[in-house]
């Protein structure tokens, strides 16, 4: 038993060392986006039911590093400010399915091809869903955006995102940069850092416990493997960054790139909280089309991805095996240690603030 635990921890550490430099870089870029791209910019471009509004929402959502719960306050804010149902839905799909942080980790743990496929697939899914929802509106009058739903209550506890909304950053370059970095290495780390480590631990368990090529025997390839990943991913609370090491470990055990893409697309974009809020804010038809679009696009894009890898003659497992050579080992170790320190700091900070909050309520 001790040997198994040690093996899992060693494998998890290897995954963290490979991913950590890119995680930190992704957080840094996320901080720049937060500090220098105002929220009002997005709201201005997403009104109306035009295709361009849906396209803009999908493209704007791609680099933003929010998971499926963290995106809810932002999406509801856009809806209140006049964004169409289609544009809001496109934003709610493309944002959690990918982001600068998860793209960096995808490059580190999988390969450059998947790093490109992932945001492209997220954009296609988002546009498909947004156009469908605008094309088939509810017969009854559209429900108003939830005026009573505060920014904080829009979040959920399922994936660790509080959905908090920071004050606008100061107008100076230094002020904006500082505000962005505080958001990235404070609030964002607190939101997804622990879940990233959970994903790394699950990847370690998969690496240590599942025999090589096991998924080739158990799941196989083709449609069955896509559907199996869809069934696993749909109910999961997993952010885009945390899903990446899990997908990389599954690829090493024989999962096809297409089936891994299903997990990477469906896992971050769907969970109970997202669907519940969609039902309340956008209506039953929009919520149904949202889930159906993710399922259909995930399966179709999985098929296309496997054919692309086959046509290019690429073996994704060989690429993943060589991924550790991208950076010097000491850089990965230093970044892994720094990531653990930041997550521990956010965890302890959140714990003590929660304690003080409960005491103040109790008093």
| Segments making up each domain of the chain, as ranges | 2-352
Cβ atoms within 10 A of the Cβ of 195, count?
A: 21
Beta carbons within 8 Å of 302's beta carbon, 6+ residues apart: 226, 229, 256, 258, 259, 261, 262
| Nearest residue to 93 (alpha-carbon basis) of 116, 59, 117 | 59
Answer whether 0.85 is exceeded by the pTM: no
> Which band of pLDDT confidence, cut at 50, 70 and 90, is reported for residue 118?
very high
Distance CA(170)–CA(70), nearest Å, equals 23
Distance CA(87)–CA(89), nearest Å, equals 5
**182 burial class (0-12, 13-18, 19+ CB within 10 angstroms)?**
middle
Distance CA(360)–CA(277), nearest Å, equals 30
Least confident of 28-32, 63-67, 260-264: 63-67
Q: How far is CA 276 from CA 100, 141, 347, in A?
A: 27, 19, 28
CB 264 within 8 A of CB 302: no
**Does 298 have pLDDT greater than 70?**
yes
Supply the pLDDT for residue 262. Answer: 92
Supply the pLDDT for residue 128. Answer: 95
Cβ atoms within 10 A of the Cβ of 164, count?
A: 15
The arithmetic mean of pLDDT across residues 61-68, rounded, is 74
SS3 at position 237: coil
Supply the pLDDT for residue 149. Answer: 39
Task: Give counts: helices (H), strands (E), the chain.
Answer: 17, 0
SS3 at position 70: coil
Distance CA(162)–CA(154), nearest Å, equals 8
What are residue 48's DSSP bridge partners? 83
What are residue 83's DSSP bridge partners? 47, 48
Distance CA(17)–CA(6), nearest Å, equals 16
| Nearest residue to 145 (alpha-carbon basis) of 92, 58, 69, 85 | 85
Supply the pLDDT for residue 141. Answer: 46
Distance CA(131)–CA(90), nearest Å, equals 9
| Nearest residue to 264 (alpha-carbon basis) of 291, 208, 292, 226 | 226
SS3 at position 60: helix
Q: Mind listing the pLDDT tens digit for each residue in 150-206?
A: 343 344 444 544 444 455 556 788 888 998 888 888 887 887 777 778 778 877 787
What are residue 47's DSSP bridge partners? 83
Distance CA(154)–CA(145), nearest Å, equals 12
Dihedral, 48, 49, 53, 54 alpha carbons, nearest 10: 150
């Amino acid at each position: 038993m001790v040997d198994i635990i040690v093996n899992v921890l060693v494998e998890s550490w290897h995954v963290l060392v490979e991913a950590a430099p890119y995680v930190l870089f992704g957080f840094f870029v996320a901080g720049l986006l937060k500090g220098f791209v105002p929220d009002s910019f997005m709201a201005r471009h997403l009104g109306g039911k035009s295709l361009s509004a849906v396209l803009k929402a999908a493209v704007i959502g791609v680099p933003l590093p929010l998971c499926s719960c963290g995106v809810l306050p932002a999406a509801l804010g856009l809806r209140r400010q006049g964004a169409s149902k289609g544009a809001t839905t496109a934003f709610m799909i493309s944002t959690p399915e990918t982001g600068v942080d998860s793209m960096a980790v995808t490059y580190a743990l999988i390969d450059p091809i998947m790093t490109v496929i992932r945001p492209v697939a997220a954009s296609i899914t988002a546009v498909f869903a947004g156009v469908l929802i605008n094309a088939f509106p509810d017969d009854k009058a559209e429900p108003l955006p939830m005026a009573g739903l505060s920014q904080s209550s829009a979040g959920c506890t399922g994936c660790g995102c509080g959905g908090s909304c920071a004050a606008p950053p100061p107008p100076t370059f230094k002020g904006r940069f500082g505000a962005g970095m505080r958001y990235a290495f404070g609030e964002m780390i607190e939101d997804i850092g622990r879940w990233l480590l959970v994903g790394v631990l699950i990847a370690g368990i998969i690496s240590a416990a599942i025999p090589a090529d096991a998924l080739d025997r158990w799941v196989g390839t083709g449609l069955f493997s896509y559907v199996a990943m869809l069934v696993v991913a749909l109910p999961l609370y997993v952010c885009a960054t945390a899903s990446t090491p899990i997908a990389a470990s599954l690829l090493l055990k024989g999962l096809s790139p297409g089936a891994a893409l299903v997990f990477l697309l469906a896992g971050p974009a769907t969970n109970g909280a997202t669907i519940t809020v969609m039902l309340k804010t956008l209506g039953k038809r929009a919520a149904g089309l949202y889930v159906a679009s993710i399922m259909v696009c995930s399966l179709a894009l999985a098929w296309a991805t496997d054919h692309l890898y086959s046509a290019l003659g690429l073996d994704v497992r060989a690429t993943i095996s060589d991924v550790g050579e991208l950076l010097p080992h000491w850089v990965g170790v230093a970044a892994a240690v720094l990531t653990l320190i930041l997550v521990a700091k956010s965890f302890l900070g959140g714990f003590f603030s929660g304690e003080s909050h409960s005491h103040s309520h109790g008093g």
